[in-house]
Structure 1
C-alpha cells in the first residue's frame, strides 16, 4: 500500500524549537528531555597510554568508513585496536515502510538502514564516530538519533534533527567502553512512538586492548551476533483482527492508544516473529566462542540460551566492569544493551530466548542457533529410550 501524498511532513524547525523549549506543537511534538551525560576528568599525575589516546583531536586522526550490515551480522572489526584512535564514518538512512510481523499482520516501521533493529556500529574507546543521518524526501516524518554512547546533552538528538529531504552529519567521541542503545527521539509523544516502530539499534565500543575477564586476561570471540529486541503495538478491530493502515501517520492515533496499555501485541527479535529461526538462524561450531550483543530500547528483557550459559556476561553493558560468569539468565534493563559470550560444547539446535516465556513463545521473542560438531556423551547422553511404563 502506498503512502498518500497528502500526508503532511513535520516542520523540523518548529519541532526543534518545541523540543528545546518544552512546548507542544500540533499534538506531534512536545517537551524536550532534560538529560545529559557528564564525563569525569582524570586526576592522575602521570599520563597513561589511555590518557594519551583520549587526548587526540579528530583532525589528527585517520578516517575510516565502516560498512554497516543488517543484523544479526556485525561489521568487520578488530577486537584489539591498532594504533591511534580513528574517526569512524557511518551512514544511516531512515526508511518508513510497512513490514510483516507474523502471518499477514503488518506494522509501520521507521527503520535505520531499512532494518529493525538498525545496524550495529562498532568502534573502540577514544575513537570518534562521524555519523551521517539521511531522511529521504519520500518520508513523512522528522527524525533524529540519540546515542547512549555519546557524551553530551540529548545524546546528539538536537544536533541531528532532520525533516524529510534533509541529511545531517555530526561527530562524537566514544568516551565509554561498552554496549549502548541508539534510537530516534524527536520530542514529546513522537519519542515512544518512533521507538515502538522499531527505530532503534546499538553501538559496541570495545576497550582498546580488547575484552578482559576479572583477572585482566584477554577474552576473544570467534564470531558475534547482534539481536535487537522490539515490542510492537498493533491495534485490533471490533472483530479482534489486527488492523492495517495505508500511511504511517494513519496508524499513529490507534497505535498510541494500544501503547498506553503497556501491553505489546508482539515482542520480537530482529523485526519479526521467527526472523532468527529457520534460514535466518544463527550458526556456530562446537568449540567456538560466540559473543551475543542484545538490545532492548523500551522494555526489560531476560536473555537466556536454552542448553547453554553465559560464560562471561556484561549485563549492564559496561566493558570497564569485570564480567559476571556462568549465568543461566541475565537481566537486560529497558533502554540498554548487554553482551554475553558462550563457548558451545555440544552440537544441536539451541533456542535463544527472552525468558519471560510468554513473550518468547506466544509473542515471538525467540531465536535459534544451529551448532555443528561432534556429540560428547560425557556432557549429556540418553541412557534409556522412551518405552511404555510397566507395572508389577
Structure 2
C-alpha cells in the first residue's frame, strides 16, 4: 500500500463522514493504519508474465480460448492519442480522444484469475489529463482514481480479473469531462474468459473461429446557424458548443468503430460458411440493439457475463449503456450480411451499421429459395385477406 493509496482511502473515508480531505501529514498517519488493517498486494514474482501487443478494432489480439496453466500477469501498454478525425463521407471532422488511436480502444483479452497490468501513457503532445476506469476491476473508481496522468506522464495499474465476461473501460476525469471524453472516443472493452473457455447452458464447450469487436459511439457535432456541422481548431475551442449539443441528448451520428462506414464496403468484416464468429459489442454511454440481418445470435451473453448461461436463437439483443455483450453465430449461407443497431433510424440515417462478407461455394436452397422468379402479378390473383375472429 503506497502513500498515494492511503491518501485516497483516507480522503474517501473523510468525504463519506462529511469531513474535509486529510492533509499530507494526516495521510502518513493513515498509511500506518491502512498497513495494519488491510491485506498487502500479492507477491506475483512467481507468476509468468505475458506482454501483449494490442490490435486495432474490429480485430482482436491472439489469445487462447482455454487457459493454459495457472494465472499469469498480462501486460498491456495503451497510449492515449488526441487527434482530429473524419467521421462521415461528408468530411465532417471532430477532435477525438482515443485509447490507442482507435475508436473504440482495443479489446483486451485475459482469463479469470489473471492479473491485468496496464501502462497508460499520456504523451506530452496531448493537451489534457486522462485516466482509465475498468468496469471489470474492483476499487478506486475502477482504477480511475489511481491513473490520472497529465500530458508527458505515464502510470501502471494492476488489477485482478475476478469475474468472467465482457466489460467496458473508459476515461473518467470527472464532472462534464467524463461524458465528453467518452463520446469523443475514449472507451473500449476487456474480455475476461473463463479459464476452461465458453460454455453453453448445459456446460458443453463453445468455441469460435474468429472474434470481432464492434464499439458503438454517438457523436454530438455542433451546427452553425445554417445547420452545417462546425469545425474547430482545438479540443478546448470545441468544448462549449459540444457540451451544449450533448445536453440535447440528440446525437448527430451513431457509428460503429469511429465513423460512418468504418465497417462496410472495403472495410467489411469477413467470414466463411461454417465458421463461428464471436461478436463483442459495446456501448459506453447509450443503449443499443444489435441485429444480424439474415442471421441470428446462436448463443448470446446479453449482459456480457460468462458465468450466466447464454440465451439462444435471438433475433436482436440488448446492450445496456455502459456495458458490452457477446454473441456467437455460425454462418450457414454465403453472401453479404448487415450487422446493425436495430434502431434503424440510427443504423441507416446516423451510421450504426456494419457488413459481414461470408464466403461459400454453395447456396443452401433448403434454408431459402425462390420457387418462382420475380414477374408480373398473375391474372386472377386474390389479393384480399380473410377477416376472422
Using structure 2 for the length normalisation, give the TM-score: 0.86
Q: Determine the structure 1 residue equivalent to 2:27.
A: none
Q: Does 1:73 align with 2:55?
A: no
- Deviation, structure 1 residue 56: 7.3
Deviation, 1:58, is 2.5
Quote the Cα distance in structure 2 between the aligned partners of 1:165 and 1:57.
Answer: 30
Q: How does 1:362-373 map to 2 (within 5 A)?
A: 362-373=349-360
* TM-score (ref. length: structure 1): 0.86
1:101 to 87, 92, 100: 87
2:102 to 115, 118, 123: 115
Does 2:236 align with 1:249? Answer: yes
| Deviation of 1:57 (Å) | 4.7
Counterpart of 1:157 in 2: which secondary structure? helix
Post-superposition offset of 1:108: 1.1
The structural deviation recorded for 1:223 is 0.6
Distance (whole Å) between structure 1 residues aligned to residue 335 and residue 63 of structure 2 = 28
- Structure 1 residue matching 2:241: 3-state secondary structure: helix
Please give the secondary structure, in 1, of the residue aligned with 2:245: helix
Aligned to 1:138: 125
1:386 offset after TM fit, Å? 1.1
After superposition, where does 1:133-172 map in structure 2 within 5 Å? 133-172=120-159
Residue in 1 that maps onto 2:327:
340
Q: Give the whole-Å Cα distance in 2 for the aligned partners of 1:108 and 1:58.
A: 40
Q: How far, CA to CA, are the matches of 2:46 and 2:311 in structure 1?
A: 37
Structure 1 gap ranges (5+): 1-15, 23-54
Q: CA deviation at 1:391?
A: 3.3
2-side partners of 1:354 and 1:289: how far apart? Answer: 21
1:315, 1:141 → 2: CA distance? 35
SS of equivalent to 1:195: helix
Cα deviation digits, residues 183-202 of structure 1 (max 9, x gap): 00011111000001010000
RMSD: 1.6
Tell me: CA distance 1:377–1:129, structure 2 relative to 1, closer, same or farther (3 Å).
same
Work out which of the residue numbers 80, 89, 97 in structure 1 matches 2:75.
89
CA distance in 2, matches of 1:290, 1:121: 17
What is the CA–CA distance in structure 2 between the aligned matches of 1:391 and 1:306, rounded to whole Å?
A: 34
CA contact (8 A) 2:290 2:316 kept: yes
Q: Quote the Cα distance in structure 2 between the aligned partners of 1:326 and 1:386.
A: 31
Moved over 4 A (4+): 19-22
Aligned to 2:26: none
Deviations 1:263-299 (A, max 9, x none): 1000000000000011110011000000000000000
**SS across alignment from 1:60:** coil
Higher relative contact order (CA 8 A, sep 6+): 1
1:222-241 matches, cutoff 5 A: 222-241=209-228
Where does residue 198 of structure 1 map in the other structure? 185
* Counterpart Cα distance in 1 of 2:69 and 2:377: 67
Matched residue pairs, number?
A: 344
1:386 to 374, 377, 389: 374
Do the aligned residues in 2 keep the contact of 1:142 with 1:162 (CA within 8 Å)? yes
Task: Provide the rounded CA distance (Å) in 1 between the counterparts of 2:236 and 2:363.
Answer: 53
Q: Please give the alpha-carbon distance, in whole angstroms, between the structure 2 residues aligned to 1:360 and 1:81.
A: 37
Q: Which of 312, 317, 322 is the aligned partner of 2:309?
A: 322
Deviation of the 1:389 alpha carbon: 2.4
Report the Cα offset of residue 390 of structure 1. 4.1
- Post-superposition Cα deviations, 1:88-119, rounded to whole Å, max 9, x if no partner, equal 00011111111111121111110111000000
Structure 1: distance between partners of 2:182 and 2:78: 16
Contact 1:58 1:128 in 2 (8 A): no
8 Å CA contact 2:140, 2:146 repeated in 1: no
